[in-house]
Structure 1
Amino acid sequence: MTSKAMQQQMGVDEPDSGVLLDDMVLPSGSGLLMRELMNPRVEAEIGFRLGRDLQGPNVDAPAARHALSEVFLALEVIDTRFTENWRIGLANSIADNASCARVVTGAMVPIDPGWVLGAEELVVSVDGVAVARGEGRAVLGDPFKALIWLARRLSGLGVGLKAGDLVLAGAVHASLPLEAGTEVQVTSVILPAVTLRVG
């Protein structure tokens, strides 16, 4: 919920976050069965893996960058039990773990200090046809800002991010319906592609 496109689609006016559990995370090339889900949609994101703990109410950009180890592309599959039109509102989003169902991760690569992830364009294709695109800056102006926002939010709850944690910055476009019998892929210029097969 860190991009305007997703906030508008879901009827919320502020960011939200959920928790990634081990059994939600799949490697690129994985298959997913529609019968395991209710009303799934998919979105492309930039993700981070932390190499150091990151916590505290005053986390800033230098601290966030220092904590990062690797960056990767991801396809997040969202799902919800609350509605079929995806106008779920903030309270239901919080109750539903930000609607997170699965995350398909690409190869994780060491982050280059010279990369401008805000300018990185992600292109989503379904069966080889481009259907959505968006730049990293769609997420709070810079995907690093999502990491800072999350660290500060968690600090208010008395917890923080730990080395090894995966953090998804947020969708760079409005989510797309997930359909059986398709292959979804996200690509960008500097990061390895991610593919999901839907059965």
Structure 2
Amino acid sequence: MEQEARALLAAERSGTPIEPLTARRPGVTLADAYRVQWAGTALRIADGARPVGHKIGLTSAAMREQMGIDAPDSGILLDDMAVPSGGELAVSGLVCPRIEAEFAFVLGRDLAGEAVDLETARSAVAQVMAALEVIDTRYRGWQITLEDSVADNAACARIVTGPPAAFEWGMDLRDQVLSTRIDGAVAATGAGREVLGDPLASVVWMARRLAAFGVGLKAGDIVLAGSVHGSLPLLAGAHVEASCKALPPVSVRTR
């Protein structure tokens, strides 16, 4: 699967998309797709990138409907994907970028095992932030399957996280509405409950998914919970901000 990972990396670096994995390799399995993802991550780490956490995608009905995929997926976050809040992001190096607002968690301690539930996840989370994720596809036209998405690292391209807040024991994000503004105008909104019923459930989902591979979440890991609304096209010259009542806002400018 390293050949497929190299093809995706070349497509990203050249800005020239390729045909979806499932179109070129009919019968490819989800396990195969994760092997491609891991091979791609290994190539990036060999080039100097450092893992900083995980993203869960397609956790809201809006995103599953938009992408035509009926199950969540996950990808690996690397430090070279991070853009500081209030900073600038170049879209010229991306293929077909879109942006979405999410909740992001920071683990205060390790979390692993198939028995992880909401309460054990809550006790492991130290901080929460509003976040923007830029998704991108190295495949042509966003016409992808779950396997294509997974192989392409769940389409993660860039992440922007706002100032962190302590994740207090009684904190409930289900009714917190993230509002995404582009150039000052509201472009999309969504409540936390759109994400698997509770954004914290994404941490549970991720821990259980990793348990199947014999690993877990680590203290310090960032976990992006998934978008609360459908993704939005991202163009150069835009100012994007996401905010809710409980957390400091997060923003980015594009060029």
Aligned to 1:49: 106
Alignment RMSD: 0.8
Query: 1:154 and 2:195 equivalent?
Result: no
Indicate the structure (1 or 2) with the bigger Cα radius of gyration: 2
How many pairs are equivalent? 198
2:230 alignment partner, one of 174, 179, 192: 174
4+ residue segments displaced more than 3 Å: none
Secondary structure at the counterpart of residue 114 of structure 2: coil
Larger RCO, structures 1/2 (Cα 8 Å, 6+ apart): 1
**Which runs of 5 or more structure 1 residues have no equivalent in the other structure?**
none
Q: Could you state the TM-score of these two structures normalised by the residue count of structure 2? A: 0.76
1:89 alignment partner, one of 140, 145, 157: 145
2:83, 2:89 within 8 Å by CA — same for their partners in 1?
A: no
Correspondence list, 1:17-166, <5 A: 17-84=74-141, 86-166=142-222
Q: Residue 114 of structure 1: CA displacement?
A: 2.6
How far apart in 1 are the matches of 2:215 and 2:74? 14
Aligned to 1:3: 60
Secondary structure at the counterpart of residue 189 of structure 2: strand
Q: Residue 115 of structure 1: CA displacement?
A: 2.2
Please give the per-residue CA displacement for 1:123-164, whole angstroms capped at 9, x wherever unaligned: 000000001000000000000111101100000011100000
Q: Could you state the TM-score of these two structures normalised by the residue count of structure 1? A: 0.98
How far apart in 1 are the matches of 2:112 and 2:65? 29
Higher helix share: 2
Paired letter, 2:157: A
How far apart in 1 are the matches of 2:143 and 2:195? 20
Paired letter, 1:194: V
Secondary structure at the counterpart of residue 119 of structure 1: coil
How far apart in 1 are the matches of 2:158 and 2:75? 12
